[in-house]
Amino acid sequence: MIDLKFLRENPEVVKQNIRNKFQDSKLPLVDEVIALDAQYRAYKQEADNLRGGRNKLSKQIGMLMAQGKREEAEAVKKQVTDNANRLAELEVLEAEYSEKIKNIMMVIPNIIDPSVPIGKDDSENVEVQRYGEPLVPDFDIPYHAEIMESLSGIDLEGARRVAGNGFYYLMGDIARLHSAIISYARDFMIDRGFTYCIPPFMIRSEVVTGVMSFAEMDAMMYKIEGEDLYLIGTSEHSMIGKYIDTIVQEDTLPHTLTSYSPCFRKEKGAHGIEERGVYRIHQFEKQEMIVVCKPEDSPVWFDKLWQNTVDLFRTLDIPVRTLECCSGDLADLKVKSIDVEAWSPRQKKYFEVGSCSNLGDAQARRLRIRVNGKDGKYFAHTLNNTVVAPPRMLIAFLENNLNQDGSINIPVALQPYMGGKTKITK
């Protein structure tokens, strides 16, 4: 959510930002919110004047009564009553207009960074850099679910009977590999100075609307029936939510946290062959990283965060590349975003395994996360990035470490987490 004062003073900048995101249907919202804001401020000014005059009128009644001017005192009393009735009306209007303004401001997209490439959708994202040599072996690589099945590592049919499509049982060494990757990612981030955290796996609606757009919320979140609780789609939501309605001391910044959690997603619109495996699923586990920092520090932290993911994948011998997300592919709260994609030898292309985002002060403004600095209070900047999200990451791992005999090599970095195993065999 952008600053209302900024919108009021720079309506054309906000409108151009909307055009850059190819959301022209939202252009009328700028003028609408400006008109509502003008009316709100008029009501507020009138209400403030009435509040300011209450004591003066009360004193005037006392003076008139003391002077025996009863009729004049009664007239002033009537004015006090009329003013009180009007003030009650104005307070209702203030609340009504404030809510209308807030609801519109929640829909107007955040101002994107000038460096973001302009494009309509993810097909126009821009490759930044590749890390590692993307190789294709001289033998056919099976679909990832088939690799797992050959190692007695997955049961999709049993999961369908229990929970339906989009769920899975991981078994044996594949399940152990999944846990090993999560544990390795946790220690990797702790070694980089992040504080480890296990957050709540459910959050209230106020936090949900504070950390994401309404469109994302509808597409992702599972609501707990009868309660004001949602299952988290990613742990960054409860991690950022941890700071709701807080004032952070400037000298304690940055706050750098890495979190483990299960994640639950509706995955609306997921179609195709990937539904047979573990690419698009309703439940998975994830290691995440978030940063709460001063505004001037967020660009530096943005680069540090995506580099962490690249470095982790390279320690596991998985080739990756980074993609700059174009304007049309950015969620409304994001200022800038980079996706990390891993190489798939089977598909002979890269696919997304993580996303790094700088949200500026958008989440902080919604959740009222302020910093107490030497020059006064201001909104913090928040950033988040995926460290690793198996089982999707397992697809890249299995394909890039598969041998012709069907065994899987375990990189040196993971071997301590696999009980010293160097291979997974049939």
| Residue whose token pair is 């720079």 | 10
The pLDDT value given to residue 273? 39
Q: How far is CA 91 from CA 4, 45, 80, 95, in A?
A: 20, 11, 16, 6
When pLDDT is averaged across residues 109-126 and rounded to a whole number, the result is 97
pLDDT for the residue 269: 55
Q: For residue 414, which phi and psi values (nearest 5 degrees)? A: -95, -15
Cα of first residue to Cα of last residue in the chain, in angstroms, is 52
The DSSP bridge partners found for residue 76 are none
- Select from 3.30.200.20, 3.40.50.2000, 3.30.930.10, 2.60.120.590 the CATH code of 122-424: 3.30.930.10
C-alpha span between 330 and 365 (Å, rounded): 19
The 10 Å Cβ neighbour count of residue 247 is 13
pLDDT higher than 80, residue 285: yes
Which of 80, 366, 327, 65 is closest to 205 using CA atoms? Answer: 366
- Work out the pLDDT band at 184, boundaries 50, 70, 90: very high
76 to each of 73, 280, 384, how far by Cα in Å? Answer: 5, 70, 59
Average pLDDT (376-404) is 95
- Same topology between domain 4-105 and domain 122-424: no
| CA dist., res. 407 & res. 402, Å (int) | 6
Query: For a pLDDT cut of 90, what percent of the chain falls above it?
Result: 82
Q: What is the 3-state secondary structure (H, E, C) of 129-198?
A: EEECCCCCCCCCCCCHHHHHHHCCCEEHHHHHHHHCCCCCEECHHHHHHHHHHHHHHHHHHHHCCCEEEC
Instruction: Provide the pLDDT for residue 213.
Output: 77
CATH number given to 4-105 = 1.10.287.40
According to DSSP, the residues that pair with 384 across neighbouring strands are: 290, 357
Residue carrying the six token digits 């970095």: 413
Cis-peptide into 254, omega within 30 deg:
yes
Domain locations in the chain as residue ranges: 4-105, 122-424
- Which amino acid appears at position 85 of this protein? N
Beta-bridged to residue 4, according to DSSP, are: none
**What is the Cα–Cα distance from 139 to 410, expressed in whole angstroms?**
19
Range with the poorest average pLDDT among 96-110, 193-207, 268-282: 268-282
pLDDT at 75: 79
Encoded tokens for 165 = 């499509």
State mean pLDDT over 127-148: 95
The partner residues of 414 in beta bridges, in order of sequence, read none
Residue of 310, 306, 265, 314 whose CA lies nearest to 289: 306
Q: What residues form DSSP beta bridges with 423?
A: 409
Backbone angles phi, psi at 140, to 5 degrees: -70, 135
Residue found by looking up tokens 């994302």 in the block: 216
Tens of pLDDT, residues 30-89: 999 999 999 999 999 999 888 877 767 766 766 767 777 777 777 777 877 888 888 899
Residue-wise DSSP of 319-382: -EEEEEPPGGGS-TT-SEEEEEEEEETTTTEEEEEEEEEE-TTHHHHHHT-EEEETTEEEEPEE
Tokens 């097909």, located at residue: 123
